[in-house]
Amino acid sequence: MSNPEPFLLINFKTYLESTGKRAVDLSKKIEAVGESTGVKVGVAPQFCDIEQVAANVAIPVFAQHIDSVAPGASTGHVVAESVKAAGADGTLINHSERPLQLFSIDKAVELAKQAGLTSVVCAGTARLAAAVALSEPDIVAIEPPELIGTGRAVSKENPEIVTESVKRIRRVNSSVAILCGAGISTGDDVYAALKLGTNGILVASGVVKAPKPEEVIASFCEAVLKII
C-alpha cells in the first residue's frame, strides 16, 4: 500500500448514537460527504450492525475487533469469517479499549488476511507502533490512549509521537499505511495529521458525538483536499 490515498476511518464504538438504525443513518451521511468530496472514508460499526451498514453503503466497513481464533467450537467469539460474511472489508485489531496479547495480535492479522479483511492494528506508542508493524498488517493506527476522547488532537498536542511513530514504523516496514487518532475533532487536526506523514486518521467521539456529524466529516474532507 505505497502512497495510499488519504483515509478517514470513523469508529462507532458502542455509542448509542451509532447503534442499530442510527449506525446505518450515520454511515449514509458519512458516505454522502465522502462521495461529494471524493475523499475516501470508512466506518467501523458494532458487530451486530455490520450487515445492515454494509448492505446500505458502498464505503469500506470495518469490524472493531476480531478474536484470534479460527471458526469452530468457540461460543461468543468473533471470527474473521463471520465479519467477512456480514459484508465487512476490514477490521480494527488491538484497539486500546480492546487490547490483545502480543501473540493474538499477530494471529489476528494472519486470520484477517486469510479471510480477505484489511487489518488496522492500533498501538499507543511509537515503539509499539513499530512492533505491530512487524506483523505486516495493512494499516497501523497510532493512538495514544491518554488523548482518546479528549478533543485534544494527537496531531497537535503530541505531534512528536506521530513523527516518531512514522520514523520507527518505516525502519521495519516500508509499505504499511499509517493512520493516527485520539482527540481528532477539527479539519485542522486532520490537516496536521496528514502533514506529519500519516495516511489519514481514526476518529470516534469527534464525529459520532458531534451535533452534526456530517459537518465535522465535511471539514475533515476539506482538510484532506488541501493536501492532495
Residues that bind its own copies (CB under 8 A): 11, 13-16, 19-21, 44, 46-52, 63-65, 69, 71-79, 81-83, 85-86, 88, 92, 94-103, 105-106, 123-125, 127-128, 130-132, 134-135, 148-149, 168, 171-172, 204-205
* Least distance to its own copies, CB of residue 91, Å: 9
Give CA–CA dist 28/18, Å, rounded: 12
* 80 Cβ contact partners less than 8 Å away, ≥ 6 residues apart: 66, 91, 108, 111, 112, 114, 115, 117
Reduced to 3 states (helix: H, G, I; strand: E, B; else coil), residue 142 is strand
* Least distance to its own copies, CB of residue 92, Å: 7
Give CA–CA dist 96/68, Å, rounded: 16
**Nearer CB in complex with its own copies: 101/175:** 101
User: Catalytic site residue 77?
Assistant: no
* Least distance to its own copies, CB of residue 216, Å: 17
**Nearer CB in complex with its own copies: 39/204:** 204
* Least distance to its own copies, CB of residue 4, Å: 23
**Nearer CB in complex with its own copies: 52/163:** 52
Query: What single DSSP character describes residue 135?
Result: T
Query: What single DSSP character describes residue 209?
Result: T
Among 31, 65, 95, 164, the active-site one is: 95
Among 143, 146, 157, 222, the active-site one is: 143
User: Catalytic site residue 160?
Assistant: no
- Cell numbers 476522547 correspond to 149
Question: Considering only CA atoms, which of 63, 58, 90, 89 is closest in space to residue 77?
Answer: 63
Reduced to 3 states (helix: H, G, I; strand: E, B; else coil), residue 163 is helix
**Nearer CB in complex with its own copies: 61/223:** 61
Give CA–CA dist 163/30, Å, rounded: 28
Please give the positions annotated as active site.
Answer: 95, 143
